[in-house]
């Protein structure tokens, strides 16, 4: 049995994260995103044409993820055919280690939502726990 892996930004290989993928992309549309590091700046770009970012887009920080919730409303014009997707869409974007949450900013232009934040040094997650040696009575 083989394991599918991906390579993220110079780190080590890790098991592929399936949580952000739709199993039926034609039936369950998702928000298309790209993310990258530009020096100490983390950038997430999401394609969101045809939405009003003030009314239809909500960005929430949930632990170590960004959650994008978007509603694309259908106009009531008589259409012969449409391939546009309407309704509610959500997407979780995992954030890199060391991201400074207070620097998160979002801007929308030309159908693209861009979220940026500064990434600093990561805090060490491992620390040694000292052992206290007790002398005396048996337990």
Q: Which pTM does this prediction carry?
A: 0.64
What pLDDT, on a 0 to 100 scale, did the predictor assign at position 73? 77
Contact 95, 64 (CB under 8 A): yes
Q: Give dist(CA 9, CA 95) in Å, integer.
A: 12
What pLDDT, on a 0 to 100 scale, did the predictor assign at position 81? 73
Query: Domain range holding 67?
Result: 35-73+83-118
Q: Look at the chain and report how many structural domains it folds into.
A: 1
| Residue 108 located in a structural domain | yes
| Residue 104 located in a structural domain | yes
Write out the DSSP string of 76-132. -S--S------EEEEEEEEPPTTB-GGG-EEEEETTEEEEEEEB-PPPP---PPP-P
| Residue 53 located in a structural domain | yes
Encode pLDDT of 21-54 as tens digits. Answer: 544 444 556 789 999 999 999 999 999 988 899 9
| Residue 100 located in a structural domain | yes
CATH number of the domain that residue 41 is part of: 2.60.40.790
| Residue 96 located in a structural domain | yes
| Residue 42 located in a structural domain | yes
| Residue 5 located in a structural domain | no
């Amino acid at each position: 049995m083989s394991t599918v892996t991906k390579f993220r930004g110079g780190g080590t290989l890790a098991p592929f994260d399936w949580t952000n993928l739709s199993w039926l992309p034609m039936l369950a549309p998702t928000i298309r995103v790209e993310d990258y590091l530009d020096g100490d700046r983390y950038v997430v770009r999401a394609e969101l044409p045809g939405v009003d970012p003030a009314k239809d887009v909500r960005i929430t920080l949930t632990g170590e993820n960004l959650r994008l919730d978007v509603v694309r409303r259908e106009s009531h014009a008589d259409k012969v055919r449409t391939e546009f997707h309407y309704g509610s869409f959500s997407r979780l974007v995992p954030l890199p280690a060391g991201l400074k949450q207070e620097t998160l900013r979002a801007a929308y232009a030309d159908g693209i939502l861009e979220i940026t934040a500064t990434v600093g040094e990561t805090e060490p997650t491992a620390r040694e726990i000292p052992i206290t040696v007790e002398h005396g009575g048996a337990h």
